[in-house]
Amino acid sequence: MQHKFYMLFSLLAFSVTVIAQENVLDTIHIPTVTIHRAHAIDANKTSFKTEHIDSVKMSQKSTGTLADVLNEHSTIFVKSYGVGGLSSVSFRGTSASHTMVLWNDIPINSSLNGQIDFSLIPLAFFDGIEIDFGGASIEKNAGSIGGSINLKNTVDYQNKASVSLQQQFASFGNSGTSGRVSLGSYRLQSNVKFFKKQGENNFDYINKGKEGFPEEKLTNARIDQYGILNEYYFKPTSSSQLMLQLSLINTDREIPAIMLVNNNRELQKDQAHRITLGYELEKEKWKLDFKSSGFSDQLDYENQLLQNKTTTTFQGIKNLINFKWYPAKKHQLNLKFHADLDQALSHSFAESKTLERRAAFVNHNFMPTKRFKSSLNVRGESLTNQTSFLLPAIGFIYQLAEEKNYLLRVNASLNAKYPNLNDLFWQPGGNPNLKVERSKNLEFGLSNNFIFINDWMNFKFEATAFYMLITDYILWQPTAFGYWKSENLQEVISKGGELNCTIRTKFGKWRNTTTVQYGYTSSVNQLAKQDNDASKNKQLIYVPEHSANVFSQFNYSSWQFIYQLNYIGERYTTTDNSDFLPFYNLHNFKVQRGFSFNKHQFSLSIQINNLFNERYQAIQWRPMPGRNYGITLNYTIN
């Protein structure tokens, strides 16, 4: 500060002298002063890769689903079984059951198959998304060998009253309504979030499963979904908070047939109820967080042609205690304890099945200098009638130069996934003798904060390389008795890299932010199940080696222009890689205009999806829509 004061004083003194002596022609030379800023590692940075999707990006798809926003803003491959069908995701070449989804740190995956249908998760309920890759997911939960997705809710105690509404009309009879009403004070806040969407999804498609490739119209693809979320936040003191969440999601949908089937009448109804109670207490040196969540889900399935009806129910309670302690400036300690109870009843089980899970997690972060930080994690897991084990993870993050903001990340971890209830007890085919799937993970990363190239452009990037070995990989395979059985059959090596680049520019009144993401994944089976097994050294099915997306947003005054490209490479559909689905490119374009009248804000947007009418299949024989349109009106008052 003294430096800056003397410089300012000298400049003022010189300026007075020049004004007083206008006839003096001498030039006064002031030495060049270079100001250096010493960068330091952010306290929240870790050596494990994470990404965040904020509420601004989510608002572009607020009547959509989690699958929609992951497609646009990540390299995660979304496996869609078509309109009205299941959507699941694949991290780094792993299966859908290797991805953990959490809601405010509480797992919400099905206890039956270990998965979750991303097409049923509404964005309208959430304020942010945190994506953890590989070893980063150890902190949240075990079993997420590929990674985890954490859906976040936040509260604003400055809010007194606000209302936001969104209405969308789209092609194929689709429409969606979502909204949020918030009331409160600096101690009490309440939010009501709701959504409703419906659609016939009767689009035309080219049926490549029939001779002559006729053009047909998709039938039996109707969907009707609604949900409501009530949130209450109360601060009894300045350092504590109570939270209560109550949610209901109801989905009634028809499941369309694949291209090879002429007629189909499959129906599915999903009901999900959840209540979560939370308490936080934060002091100067520590923070305590407790959450308890009870849930009850029911799935009703009907095949009218086969005259088959089934009902599956699962319920339970999940508890989490999280304690953070800052004993000294260079140290941070994090302790977590889990206690879960899951119960499921299915027509495929001989009787009701119950799983009890207990887990503990310890994390120590040490930052001896401003340029170096280490993380040591250990997770212990115990499950009913299964082997208990410890999962360690270690990582380092290092700032390459004191005056630069380049960060080098290195981490290694172990992970494991217990078999799910279907793997163990499905009749017929379940196998109670299955081993736990295990993985060894290694990751390197290089990243930076925004680099200011000049006064109109800045740039940020992150590059990551990963290696993963998964043993005792669980697969279902056909038997000589006419049914499928679960077995520990494969050893898989998944390796590759991810690149994320963002460029921000400005030209006059124009502003642009462009993000380019690319992912390469080689996920190869290393073991032969039998002597003539052709799957050895072959890429796993439905794992694209190459994927990429571009998201570019132009702002001019109250106008927004958004272009989005999604590229998915070839995906093999057979384990011997003899057949595959070709790559596809999806181009989307959106224009939006905002208006303001006092405290009232409006915006109107028009969107074109699949701009060039690409004919493609994400999953074999499942038709996907061609070019389609949507118009959305947003209203907000604060």
Q: What is the mean pLDDT of residues 307-332?
A: 92
Q: What is the mean pLDDT of residues 226-252?
A: 96
Give the SS3 label for residue 524. Answer: strand
User: Which of 12-26, 201-215, 440-454, 526-540 has the least mean pLDDT?
Assistant: 12-26
pLDDT value of residue 9 = 36
pLDDT value of residue 63 = 66
pLDDT value of residue 28 = 46
Measuring CA to CA, which residue among 526, 530, 570 is closest to residue 547?
570
Q: What is the mean pLDDT of residues 523-530?
A: 84
Distances, alpha carbon 637 to alpha carbons 55, 179, 183, 185, 605, in Å? 17, 12, 12, 17, 18
Identify whether 475 is part of a domain: yes
Identify whether 25 is part of a domain: no
- Identity of the residue numbered 274: R
pLDDT value of residue 451 = 80
Number of domains in the chain: 1
* Contact present, 546 and 569 (Cβ < 8 Å): yes
Q: What is the mean pLDDT of residues 7-28?
A: 38
Say whether the peptide bond before residue 428 is cis (omega within 30 degrees of 0): yes
Identify whether 9 is part of a domain: no
pLDDT value of residue 62 = 65
pLDDT value of residue 5 = 37
Strand partners, 344: 314, 353
pLDDT value of residue 385 = 80
Distances, alpha carbon 240 to alpha carbons 103, 287, 325, 335, 541, in Å? 21, 10, 16, 19, 49
Identify whether 207 is part of a domain: yes
Identify whether 57 is part of a domain: yes
**Which residues are CB-neighbours of 4 under 8 A, at least 6 positions away?**
none
In terms of C-beta distances under 8 Å and separation of at least 24 residues, what long-range contacts does 209-217 make, across chains too?
209/258, 209/259, 209/260, 209/621, 210/259
- Identity of the residue numbered 184: G
Query: Which pTM was predicted?
Result: 0.88
Is the pLDDT at 166 greater than 90? The verdict is yes
Percentage of the chain beyond pLDDT 90 is 58
Distances, alpha carbon 77 to alpha carbons 71, 94, 99, 144, 301, in Å? 7, 10, 12, 16, 27
Sheet holding 147-152, edge to edge: 50-53, 128-133, 147-152, 99-103, 106-107
Which H or E run contains 355?
A: strand 353-369
Q: How many residues are listed for the chain in this entry?
A: 638
Find where tokens 């849930």 sit: 295
Mean pLDDT taken over the chain: 87
* Contact present, 109 and 115 (Cβ < 8 Å): yes
pLDDT value of residue 346 = 83
Find where tokens 């899970």 sit: 357
Domain ranges, residue 127: 50-637
User: Which of 163-167, 186-190, 531-535 has the least mean pLDDT?
Assistant: 531-535
Is the pLDDT at 334 greater than 90? The verdict is yes
Buried-exposed string 112-131: b where 16+ CB fall within 10 A, e elsewhere: bebbbbbbbbbbbbbbbbbb
pLDDT value of residue 113 = 84
Is the pLDDT at 424 greater than 90? The verdict is no
* Contact present, 258 and 621 (Cβ < 8 Å): yes
Is the pLDDT at 204 greater than 80? The verdict is yes
Select the more confidently predicted residue: 244 or 10. 244
Is the pLDDT at 19 greater than 50? The verdict is no
Three-state secondary structure string covering 562-579:
EEEEEEECCEECCCCCCC
Is the pLDDT at 543 greater than 80? The verdict is yes
Q: What share of the chain is helix, strand, coil (3-state, %, to 5)?
A: 10, 55, 35
- The Cβ of residue 177 has, within 10 Å, a number of other Cβ atoms equal to 16
User: Which of 51-60, 202-211, 276-285, 313-322 has the least mean pLDDT?
Assistant: 51-60
- Identity of the residue numbered 331: H
Identify whether 35 is part of a domain: no
pLDDT value of residue 34 = 44
Confidence of residue 7 (pLDDT cuts 50, 70, 90): very low
Q: What is the mean pLDDT of residues 179-189?
A: 95
Identify whether 29 is part of a domain: no
**Which residues are CB-neighbours of 123 under 8 A, at least 6 positions away?**
58, 61, 62, 63, 64, 65, 66, 68, 69
Q: What is the mean pLDDT of residues 341-345?
A: 89
Q: What is the mean pLDDT of residues 248-270?
A: 89
Is the pLDDT at 127 greater than 50? The verdict is yes
pLDDT value of residue 35 = 46
Q: How far apart are the first and last CA of the chain?
A: 41
Identify whether 543 is part of a domain: yes
**Which residues are CB-neighbours of 533 under 8 A, at least 6 positions away?**
none
Q: What is the mean pLDDT of residues 1-5?
A: 41
Is the pLDDT at 484 greater than 70? The verdict is yes
Select the more confidently predicted residue: 507 or 306. 507
Q: What is the mean pLDDT of residues 245-256?
A: 94
Query: What letter would DSSP give residue 347?
Result: T
Supply the CATH number for residue 618's domain.
Answer: 2.40.170.20
Spatial distance between the Cα atoms of 205 and 21, rounded to a whole number of angstroms: 84
Buried-exposed string 486-524: b where 16+ CB fall within 10 A, e elsewhere: bbbbbebbbbbbbbbebbbbeeeeeebeebbbbbbbebb
pLDDT value of residue 403 = 67
pLDDT in tens, 544-554: 999 999 999 99
User: Which of 59-68, 256-265, 583-592 has the least mean pLDDT?
Assistant: 59-68
